[in-house]
Amino acid sequence: MRLKDHFLKDLKLSSQSFYFYMEIGFAIIIIAVLLIAVPENFDQSMTIYLHAEAPLPMVSIIDEQLNEDTHDELIWVASLSELYDALEENRSSVGLSIVQENQQMVFRFILQGYENERVRNILRTTVETAFAGALIEETENITLTTLQESPQRLSDRLSIVPVILTLNVSFMGLFIIAAYIFLDKQQGTIKALAVTPSHIWEYLLGKMLVLLLTGLFSGIITVVFLAGFNAHYIHLIPLLITTSLFGSALGLFIASFFETMTKAMGWLYITIIVLLLAATSYYMPSFSPIWIRLLPSYPMIFAFREILLDNPNIPFIYATTVGFGFAALITFILANHRFKNNITV
Amino acid sequence: MIKRIIAVTLRDLKSGLRDFMVIYIMIAPFLLALILRGLIPSASAATINMAVLESTPQETIDYLSQYGNVETFATEDQIIQRIGRLDDIYGIIIHNNNYEIIAEGNESIDASETIAYILLSKTQSLDLERPFKVEIDDVGWTLSPLKQYGANFLIIFGSVFGGMIILLSMVEEKMSNTLSAINVSALSKWEFVIGKGFLGFIIPIIGTSGTLWILDLHDIHFGMMFVTLIAIACISVVVGFSIGVVNTEPIGAVASMKMIFLPIMASVFGAIFLPPQWHVVLYWSPFYWAFLSVDAIILEQALWSDILLNTSLIIALTSFVFFLLRNRIRQGLN
Same domain, B147 and B106: no
Q: What is the mean pLDDT of residues A157-169?
A: 89
Q: Which pLDDT band holds residue A304 (cuts at 50, 70, 90)?
A: very high
* Position B212 in a domain: yes
CATH number of the domain at A124, please. Answer: 3.40.190
User: How close B117 gets to chain A, by Cα (Å)?
Assistant: 5
Same domain, B106 and B239: no
Interface of B with A in 174-213 (CB under 8 A): 175
* Position B21 in a domain: yes
The total number of structural domains that make up chain A: 2
pLDDT at A235: 95
pLDDT at B282: 87
Same domain, A199 and A162: yes
pLDDT at A317: 95
* Position A166 in a domain: yes
Same domain, B186 and B318: yes
By percentage, how much of chain A surpasses pLDDT 90?
25
| pLDDT tens digits for range A261-283 | 777 877 887 888 888 889 888 88
CA nearest to B294, candidates B306, B282, B312, B276: B306
| pLDDT tens digits for range A54-113 | 777 777 877 777 777 777 888 889 888 999 999 988 888 899 998 888 778 888 999 998
Q: Distance between CA atoms of A316 and A299, rounded to whole angstroms? A: 9
Q: What is the mean pLDDT of residues A235-258?
A: 93
* Position B135 in a domain: no
Judge whether residue B127 has pLDDT over 60.
no
Same domain, A61 and A28: no
* Position B261 in a domain: yes
Mean pLDDT of chain B: 84
Write the residue in A111, A142, A287 that is nearest to B120 by C-beta: A142
Enclosing domain of residue A336:
2-39+155-342
Same domain, B151 and B288: yes
**Which chain A residues are closer than 8 Å to B125 by Cβ?**
136
Enclosing domain of residue B209:
2-40+142-332
* Position B129 in a domain: no
Nearest CA in chain B to A309: B106
* Position B133 in a domain: no
Contacts of B225 by beta carbon, 8 Å cutoff, 6+ apart: B208, B212, B294, B297
The residue among A97, A132, A167 that closes a domain is A132
CA distances from B2 to B5, B9, B14, B59 (A): 5, 11, 18, 73
Same domain, A54 and A9: no
Q: Are strands A94-101 and B132-141 parallel, antiparallel or unpaired?
A: unpaired
The total number of structural domains that make up chain B: 2
* ipTM value for the complex: 0.78
Same domain, B322 and B246: yes
R_g (Cα) of chain B, nearest Å: 27
User: How close B54 gets to chain A, by Cα (Å)?
Assistant: 20
3-state DSSP assignment of residue B267: helix
Q: Directed axis angle between helix A297-307 and helix A233-255, to 10°?
A: 160
pLDDT at A136: 52
pLDDT at A83: 92
User: How close A195 gets to chain B, by Cα (Å)?
Assistant: 25
Judge whether residue B267 has pLDDT over 60.
yes
Judge whether residue A285 has pLDDT over 60.
yes
Q: Which pLDDT band holds residue B298 (cuts at 50, 70, 90)?
A: very high
- Residues composing chain A: 345
Same domain, A325 and A195: yes
Same domain, A12 and A115: no
pLDDT at B312: 94
Q: Distance between CA atoms of B54 and B71, rounded to whole angstroms? A: 9
Same domain, B62 and B155: no
Q: Distance between CA atoms of A244 and A52, rounded to whole angstroms? A: 58
3-state DSSP assignment of residue A101: strand
| pLDDT tens digits for range B28-86 | 888 888 988 888 877 777 788 999 999 999 999 999 999 999 999 999 999 999 998 88
Same domain, B56 and B29: no
Same domain, B159 and B107: no
Same domain, A84 and A120: yes
Q: How far is CA A14 from the centre of its chain?
A: 29
Q: Directed axis angle between helix B2-18 and helix B21-45, to 10°?
A: 70
Same domain, B62 and B33: no
* Position A146 in a domain: no
Q: Distance between CA atoms of A31 and A261, rounded to whole angstroms? A: 30
Instruction: Give the Cα-Cα-Cα angle B212, B38, B265 (nearest 5 degrees).
Output: 65
Same domain, B197 and B315: yes
Write the residue in A36, A127, A132 that is nearest to B130 by C-beta: A132
* Position A54 in a domain: yes
The residue among B69, B88, B123 that closes a domain is B123
Q: Distance between CA atoms of B104 and B81, rounded to whole angstroms? A: 10
Same domain, B150 and B91: no
pTM for this entry: 0.80
* Position B136 in a domain: no
The answer to whether the beta carbons of residues A331 and A170 sit under 8 Å apart is no
Q: Distance between CA atoms of B24 and B137, rounded to whole angstroms? A: 45
